[in-house]
Amino acid sequence: MFTGLKEQTERKNSKKVAVGYDLGKAASQISYCVLDTDEVETVSSVAGTEQYNIPTVLCKRSGVNQWFYGKEALKYAKEEEGILVEDLLTLAERGEEVMIEGEGYDPTALLTLFVKRSLSLLNMRLSLGQVEAFMFTVEDLTPSMVEVLSKVAAALSLKTEHIFFQSHVESFYYYVLHQPADLWKYNVMIFDYSSSLKSICFECNKRTTPQVVFINSNSYPDMVREEFGTEETEQKVRKQKLDKKFLRIAEAEMDGGMFSSVYLLGDGFKENWAGDSLRYLCRNRRVFQGNNLYSKGACYGALERLSPSEESKTHVYLGADKLKSNIGMKVKRRGEDSYFAILDAGTNWYEVSADFEVILESGNTVDLMITPLTGEKVIDKRLVLDGLPERPRNTTRLKFHIEMSAVNQVVATIEDMGFGEILPSSGKGWTQTITV
């Protein structure tokens, strides 16, 4: 019997997994999923509980090179036995050296140390060698944050090339796609009250093919988390005031729309103050409360990168980091007119690239076909190859490298390859940028 249990455990520990890591400014979370399943688990920072938040902090023990992370770091700092380092994500993005006890530290190295230490919680459940795909999700995925995360990922030495990044909003998108259909038949709303209130609305245009998903977000910096006091009457007044304020916001956000579900995220909703506002939200829709949606959505996003689901194939999310248009060109294949796809709408601009070769029929121009998924007309963008030698028809081979320098900027690098030994290359090349 014991031999059988051992073999069963070994089989389980040999399975490949996808990991979603929510790297938050105040707290982080880790979720994982065995490949070929849709059941995502979130790692608890305290065994046997649902305490998913790992404080995104480090503490250096005074006078020695000993570091602690998360709750242990807070404990040592509170006991005045070390120096607490907070805002690790912001420090890394700014790139400013962190001074601790007179010594300078690279902020990205400190962030990497935190991530490595926190992954020990995951390593208690499975071997990091099982990780097939790893997704970081952060609140705002700026170009500078992509650079920071790339450095962190490289330092983790994971045995996989499938390492990705996405924003919280995109994690919300993938989370919704993996929920039962009745929960997103209509719009879906998040109210995130981790610090100040933020709303995120998922809306799908079912009249397009593929169906285009838009996600809009609003911030309410005046609705910050507050202390309710210790006196009972004061608590009651403050909670009623907050309840009314949130009710007005919820009504304004959802008025006139049809919503299937609402998600209340963040510790701000744990303090049992939402009365009238919660009754309003629960009218004819499902309401959920929790705080591990983003890490689960990151996990689902990693799974989609490995093997797109049917829902992912029939839907496209056009967020702030996404290419909004399909880019291709009209070509002839075996004498027939055809469309050659180069870049697909819905992909992150910083992840896309394409390399290919074409034979130019005649002239010195190439037209790229831009097809917006946002409703605008299809347009052609012409690339002029000045100085390209004149040759007989169909005897100029061009090598293309296409990438993006910004969400609306496509950079095309083109090289004249000639046509074998008969018509050698001119050695000329062109780099042109077009706006899409």
pLDDT, tens only, 294-306: 999 999 999 999 9
Domain membership of residue 165 (yes or no) is: no
Q: What is the pLDDT of residues 114-151, one digit of tens each?
A: 999 999 999 999 999 999 999 999 999 888 999 999 99
End residue of a domain, out of 296, 317, 338: 317
Cβ-proximal residues to 208 (8 Å cutoff; 6+ apart), any chain: 373
* 199, 208, 253, 312, 316 from 205: Cα distances, Å: 20, 6, 18, 14, 10
For the cut 60, the answer to whether the pLDDT of residue 12 exceeds it is no
Confidence of residue 282 (pLDDT cuts 50, 70, 90): very high
Residue 350 near residue 319 (C-beta atoms within 8 A): no
Confidence of residue 421 (pLDDT cuts 50, 70, 90): confident
Question: In whole angstroms, what is the distance from residue 152 CA to residue 378 CA?
Answer: 40
- Kindly state the average pLDDT of the residues 356-372: 94
Dig out the tokens for 256 from the structure: 């006139």
Is residue 183 domain-shared with residue 147, that is, in the same domain? no
Confidence of residue 13 (pLDDT cuts 50, 70, 90): low
Residue 69 near residue 77 (C-beta atoms within 8 A): no
End residue of a domain, out of 298, 317, 336: 317
At residue 226, the pLDDT reads 78
* Domain count within the chain: 3
End residue of a domain, out of 261, 285, 317: 317
Q: What is the pLDDT of residues 54-96, one digit of tens each?
A: 999 999 999 999 999 999 999 999 999 999 999 999 999 999 8
β-strand partners of 200: 190, 217
Q: Is the dihedral of CA 268, 272, 274, 279 positive or negative?
A: positive
Question: In whole angstroms, what is the distance from residue 231 CA to residue 56 CA?
Answer: 32
Residue-number span of the structural domain to which 183 is assigned: 171-317
The amino acid sitting at 356 is F
DSSP 8-state secondary structure symbol assigned to residue 322? B
Domain membership of residue 166 (yes or no) is: no
How many CB atoms neighbour CB 272 within 10 A? Answer: 9
What is the CATH classification number for the domain harbouring 72? Answer: 3.30.420.40
Q: By mean pLDDT, which of 116-120, 158-162, 249-253, 350-354 is the weakest?
A: 350-354
How many CB atoms neighbour CB 216 within 10 A? Answer: 12
Residue with tokens 């210790």: 230
